[in-house]
Amino acid sequence: MHERPLAGIRVLDLTNVLAGPYCSYQLMLLGAEVVKVEVPGRGDLARQLGSDPDLNQRGIGASFLAQNAGKKSVELDLKEAADRVAFEELVGAADVLLENFRAGVLARLGYDWPRLQALNPALIACSITGFGQTGPMSQAPAYDQIIQGLSGMMSVTGTQDTAPLRVGFPVCDSIGGLAAALAITAAVAARHRTGTGCHLDVSMLEASISAMGWTVSNYLVAGVPPEPTGDQNATAAPSGTFDTADGPLNIAANRQEQFESLCRIVGRTDLMNDVRFAEREGRKTHRAALNDELNRALRQRPAAEWERLLTAAGVPAARILTVPQAVELEQLQHRGFIQELPFPDGSGRPLRVVSSGVLYDGEPLTPDEPPPLLGQHNTSVPELLASWRAARLVSEGAPE
């Protein structure tokens, strides 16, 4: 692989659990050198989280292992004088400082943005919080489920009878982490022109509402409040989950030609000429009746067979898989999406982690090293500092 795009970028990562570590994992996959600063003896809370109690007890919980491969771990207590000196030296040589404390916590430790800027004028500092650094909610505690509820996301998840429902994974944490990673990479590019750093204030609430796309814009632009539609796509029909002989099948016949192909393949060409279904808006209005007709036809064959037939005809269709089924898809294997690493405890047990979903010059962005044990790189701090200082001198002396 060619040198990765963020090679040489040095990230000081003070984050815990999900949004922040997910952000720094993306930066690491893009080539950045990430050093986790962890509380001595305790570390990232994610070390104790996951479905395997034994791993949690040993400080390498599944939640931690999922998004900390390729990083280094040093233990520093920012309330201790000697550790503060080491921390400030690292800040002075870093490119990026990433934190997800509650708004104002880092400042109370003596490291507000003016102080960080004084230590390193070229530093890019990124703060991820639930609601941002300012505003009436800035001090409110926030976890993913809180943001899901406040964003309106839960109100449109489920059906009229079951909503509000939580999305089945911490989507707002992931969105917040991705928004932060995007902002950091943009700031790195801007600094190449200006030579100065900046402070990035990432709000998980705002990033999540932004990611909801048309669900929000239909209200902001058209004045139509969105409603929960379950497994149906409110913007098109037939588009949603349908019945087959052996299980559910997703079909998204969002274009006229896709609808007509669907009708031909399931042997219901009469639906193309039915006045209720002939046009897009009519199909949306009469969605329930159309779904009933299609379900009757689709129940004649298994989901995998319909998936094959419809996909070949250009109609988006696929089975609904479990997570164990999804991660074993041949498509993911073909693209090298899942990487196998050794467990950090030296047990020889394989550890499978995911990449970013991006091929860089045709190759997947994957970690080269397993997640670190707590404080694994404590003794390497002097060497690390020397390396970072040298790299900073080269960077400062490089022509624009």
Question: What are the residue numbers of the active site?
Answer: 173
Q: Tokens representing 194?
A: 């200006």
Prior bond of 350 cis (ω within 30°): no
N-term to C-term CA, the chain: 26
CB 216 within 8 A of CB 203: no
CB 271 within 8 A of CB 277: yes
Tell me whether residue 190 is exposed, middle or buried, using C-beta atoms within 10 angstroms of its C-beta: 0 to 12, 13 to 18, 19 or more.
Answer: middle
Q: Kindly give the pairing relationship between strand 239-243 and strand 198-203.
A: unpaired
- Long-range contacts of 277-285, Cβ-Cβ distance < 8 Å, separation of 24 or more: 280/236, 280/237, 280/256, 283/236, 283/237, 283/238, 283/259, 284/234, 284/236, 284/237
Q: Tell which residue, 95, 104, 167, 164, has the closest CA to residue 138.
A: 104
Q: How far is CA 225 from the centre of its chain?
A: 27
DSSP codes of every residue in 123-164 = -EEEEEESS-SSSTTTTS---HHHHHHHHTTGGGSS-TTT-S
Cα–Cα distance between 70 and 32 in angstroms, integer? 10
d(C-alpha 314, C-alpha 294), whole Å: 18
Sign, CA torsion 35/40/41/44: negative
What number of residues does the chain have? 400
CB 30 within 8 A of CB 185: yes
CA 311 to chain centre: 28
